[in-house]
Amino acid sequence: MISTIRPALVLFGALTLACGVIYPLAVTGVGSAAFPSQADGSILEVNGKPVGSALIGQQFTSPKYFWGRPSATGPMPYNANGSSGSNQGPLNPAYTDAVKGRVEALQAADPGNTAPIPVDLVTASGSGLDPEISLAAAYYQARRVAPERRMAPEQVRDLIDKHASHTVLGIFGEPRVNVLALNLALDGKTPHTR
């Protein structure tokens, strides 16, 4: 019996060491060396103090800031511990009511804006943590943000363009802007990634 159990225990120990210790340490070491900012969570700092992550959205409700994509996480928005979508389909009345409420909030914040509202401003993503919005969503909000900041609309649009991330290799993804970085730029702060 010992001769049967011993090889199994040795194999179990070897695989535990290889897969549970050596491999994770190697991957963490390579990740930290090759991509130090991303491995540390892409933390944005202003004056040496962390203000958020470039990878996780934050809730902005003041009209002088750009608003991000809605979050469906609970019990609070952009809760990384509860990353998930709402799991509500377009025929669900609760989903329809939530989207209508978001449309009404955007219209109330900028009643003179008759442009079509970009879909990413009223629908949550699958993770509920999106830190970025489309350029269309940013341009839509520029009309509200500019007078709140006592800036010309062209200045706000230029700021959006300056902080825009474009497609990868010209085909992957869509042009977008990080909401936290854009709002920090509005406040005149330059974030540094830790």
Condensed to tens digits (0 to 9), the pLDDT of residues 117-175 reads 999 999 988 888 899 999 999 999 999 999 999 999 999 999 999 999 988 888 888 89
DSSP letters along 121-176, please? GTS--SSS---EEEHHHHHHHHHHHHHHTT--HHHHHHHHHHHEE--BTTTBS--E
pLDDT band at 194 (very low <50, low <70, confident <90, very high): low
Q: What pLDDT sits at residue 173?
A: 86
Q: What is the pLDDT of residues 20-77, one digit of tens each?
A: 999 999 999 998 899 888 888 888 888 889 988 888 999 999 999 999 999 888 778 8
* pLDDT(10) > 90: yes
Residue 190 has pLDDT above 80, yes or no: no
- pLDDT at 1 exceeding the cut of 90: no
DSSP 3-state percent helix, strand, coil across the chain (nearest 5): 50, 10, 40
